[in-house]
Amino acid sequence: MMYLIEPNSFNILKKQYFFKLKTNFGLIFNLILFQIFAIFLSLVVKMTSSSFGMDELTFYVSSFSGNIVIGFTLIWACTVPAILTNSKIRNIDFTFVSNRFTSNISNIGLLITLSLFGSVTACLSSNLIRVLFYFISNPKSIVNEGFFVSPQYILISIISTTLYIILVMSILYFLGLLKQLTKVFIILFFAIAVAIILGFKLFSSTINFTLIDLINKVFNFYKGESSLVVFAVKVLLTALVFFSGATLISSKLEVRR
Amino acid sequence: MSIIQCTNLTKDYGNAKALSDLSFTIEENTITGLIGRNGAGKTTLLKTIAGFIKNTSGEISVLGKNPFDCLDVSANTFFADDNMAFPVELTLSELLEEISNFYPNWDVSLAKGLFEYFGLNPKQYHAGLSKGQKSTFNMIVALSSHSALTIFDEPTTGMDASVRKDFYRALLKDYIQYPRTIILSSHLLSEIEDILENILLLKNGTKVLQMPVENLKEMAIGLRGDINSINMLTNGKEIIHTEKINGNHILVVVKNDFTETALQQANVLGVEILQVSADDLCVYLTAKSQGGIDDVFNRAKLI
């Protein structure tokens, strides 16, 4: 008799997590491509360009920022859960030792790790943009203000960007599994969205509240938060709801077909 | 101790029943062949045992637990089929290394030995392998995992004749060295009957029989001769298969519970007594309708 193995969930989780880190290297490669493209774009496209002059003197002011890189990182973040929830990729877990709980938790672990990686590289790339800009333009014409960034500022931007990425990924991970459950849910999802939009179009005048107001309210709930701690709690709680929802959905799916 | 226990196991896909009221047990440290025609429910049963599919009703217990989504069962089971998904980023040798982390019983030297013997390229990617090579690689992984329960669903898909032979030999040798429970599914019994101990025959999701292969080989005999003599001999017996040969001559496959004298009587009547191979018997037992493919053509001629 082969001796029976008594697996420990935490141990299997750890193995799965590192296995996924290794085997999803392509995702990091994609991220780097997205970010290189965004850095290039940041240097070429002047975010806000204005000129003003008085008499014989004319100033041209161009400002640069790393926001494009963060934007592209968020777009990349949208693609990741779609890949992980694809049934072909989910099946890989079940080629080896796994159950749905460890599979989901190791996926969530991977998503959080990738969020952190994406955020750190995105935030540091704004420094790279500054350095590149320094070399390609006349250093004397650079306005010092905002050119040097304090480590505290970078740390705060890394934390908040990580939280944004986690938020995006948790929502899309949830939707990705919902799609696997049944196509009916996708139709239902769009039906609800259309119903909300139509509802607002019809009744916005009577209730004095438009769809834009609602969207603004939702965005402000996160974006308008000035305290980093409260913001973190809000985002993490939202992500927890979506990740739990995703785990719940996957319990409705067959383990592997 | 029985490793697998099923009682009235049923699995529905919508209106279609893939498994219906299936009851059987599989003892530990045996090699069982799961035989049945296309659509008999072999894969559904194996996936239910492996914990991938949830049964609609009935009971199933694997290693004393309900296998569905169960980590304990997953850790002690290896399920190999040609739909196994592997990550595309790793080469075969990297894959072997990663897989070995999941299985404490992993046999490094067996994996390495088989890998070299079958001439697989360690730098290749799984997606680039041919159908037969994929089956070979899956087989190497399944054998090397030394899991207490190893399940092969149609393991030889795409393998050429010599690789098939080598595979069965490797399976048997490793099984003798490290006894464990192995289930092999196939629709070609003739190929695997030499390594099997038990056989579980399925038809339309139900169990036709479960017995040692030796018993199956002796279960039935064929009688060939004049229709009247055969009718006399087989009166009251369980007829498994009837085939018209020509004119008044027929071949009847019947359960072998003849006495010595009855067989002598058959000889006197000029009825030939034939052995029925286990493979043919399974085909007769799982026949979808009376008659054979010949009847389809004969009927066509009449019209």
3-state SS, residue B26: strand
User: Minimal Cα distance from B68: which residue of A?
Assistant: A255
CA distance B51 to B85: 16
CB contact under 8 A, B89 and A5: no
Q: Show the tokens assigned to A107.
A: 């996926």
Q: Does B98 touch chain A (CB under 8 A)?
A: yes
Among the listed residues A85, A176, A255, A256, the one whose alpha carbon sits nearest the alpha carbon of residue B83: A256
Give the pLDDT of residue A52. Answer: 67
Q: Show the tokens assigned to A138.
A: 């006349």
Among the listed residues B52, B38, B43, B44, the one whose alpha carbon sits nearest the alpha carbon of residue B13: B44
Q: Can you give the three-state secondary structure of A146-206, one letter per residue?
A: CCCCCHHHHHHHHHHHHHHHHHHHHHHHHHHHHHHHCHHHHHHHHHHHHHHHHHHHHHHHH
CB contact under 8 A, A92 and B87: yes
Superfamily designation of domain B2-204: P-loop containing nucleotide triphosphate hydrolases (3.40.50.300)
CB contact under 8 A, B105 and A2: yes
User: Minimal Cα distance from B100: which residue of A?
Assistant: A96
Q: Show the tokens assigned to A208.
A: 């004095």
Neighbours of B282 (CB within 10 A): 25
Among A5, A92, A98, select the one facing B86 at the smallest CB separation: A92
CB contact under 8 A, B51 and A255: yes
CA distance B128 to B133: 9
What are the structural domain ranges in chain B?
Answer: 2-204, 217-302
Q: Does B125 touch chain A (CB under 8 A)?
A: no
CB pairs under 8 A between A and B: 95
β-bridge mates for residue A213, sequence order: none
pLDDT digit of tens for each residue in chain B (303 aa)? Answer: 789 999 999 999 888 889 999 999 999 999 999 998 888 899 999 999 999 999 999 999 999 999 998 899 999 999 999 888 899 889 999 999 999 999 999 999 999 999 999 999 999 999 999 999 999 999 999 999 999 999 999 998 889 989 999 999 999 999 999 999 999 998 778 888 889 999 999 998 999 999 999 998 888 889 888 888 888 888 888 888 888 888 788 888 888 888 888 888 888 888 888 888 888 888 888 886 665 666 667 666 655
Q: Show the tokens assigned to B243.
A: 């085939």
Chain B positions touching A254 (Cβ under 8 A) are 52-54
Among B69, B104, B179, select the one facing A5 at the smallest CB separation: B104
* CB B62 within 8 Å of CB B27: no
Neighbours of A133 (CB within 10 A): 16
Give the pLDDT of residue A248. Answer: 87
Instruction: Label the pairing between strands B206-212 and B198-203.
Output: antiparallel
Helix spans in A46-182 (H): 67-85, 87-95, 100-136, 151-181
Give the pLDDT of residue A213. Answer: 76
Alpha-carbon dihedral B227, B228, B229, B234, rounded to 10 degrees:
80
Instruction: Label the pairing between strands B2-13 and B16-27.
Output: antiparallel
Give the pLDDT of residue B289. Answer: 63
Residue A207, class by beta-carbon neighbours within 10 Å (0-12 exposed, 13-18 middle, 19+ buried)? Answer: exposed
Mean per-residue pLDDT pooled into runs of 10, chain A (257 residues): 76 93 90 91 68 68 75 93 87 88 93 95 86 76 70 89 94 88 77 83 70 77 82 92 90 72
CB contact under 8 A, A22 and B47: no
CB contact under 8 A, A255 and B99: no
* CB B7 within 8 Å of CB B58: yes
Interface of B with A in 54-93 (CB under 8 A): 54, 63, 68-72, 74-76, 83-90
Q: What's chain B's Rg over C-alpha atoms?
A: 22
Query: How close is the nearest chain B Cα to the Cα of A60, in Å?
Result: 49
Among the listed residues B36, B73, B74, B68, the one whose alpha carbon sits nearest the alpha carbon of residue B55: B68
Among B72, B89, B148, select the one facing A25 at the smallest CB separation: B89
Residue A247 half-sphere exposure toward CB, CA atoms < 13 A? 16
Give the pLDDT of residue A201. Answer: 75
* CB A102 within 8 Å of CB A7: no
CATH topology of domain B217-302: Alpha-Beta Plaits (3.30.70)
Query: What type of residue is A13?
Result: L
CB contact under 8 A, B74 and A99: yes
- ∠ at Cα B50 (B44, B51), nearest 5°? 90
Contacts 24+ apart (CB under 8 A), A218-227: A222/A167
Q: Show the tokens assigned to B137.
A: 């690689």
Give the pLDDT of residue B167. Answer: 92
β-bridge mates for residue A242, sequence order: none
Give the pLDDT of residue B271. Answer: 87
Measured between alpha carbons, how far is residue A6 from residues A12, B30, B75, B218 in Å?
Answer: 11, 22, 8, 42
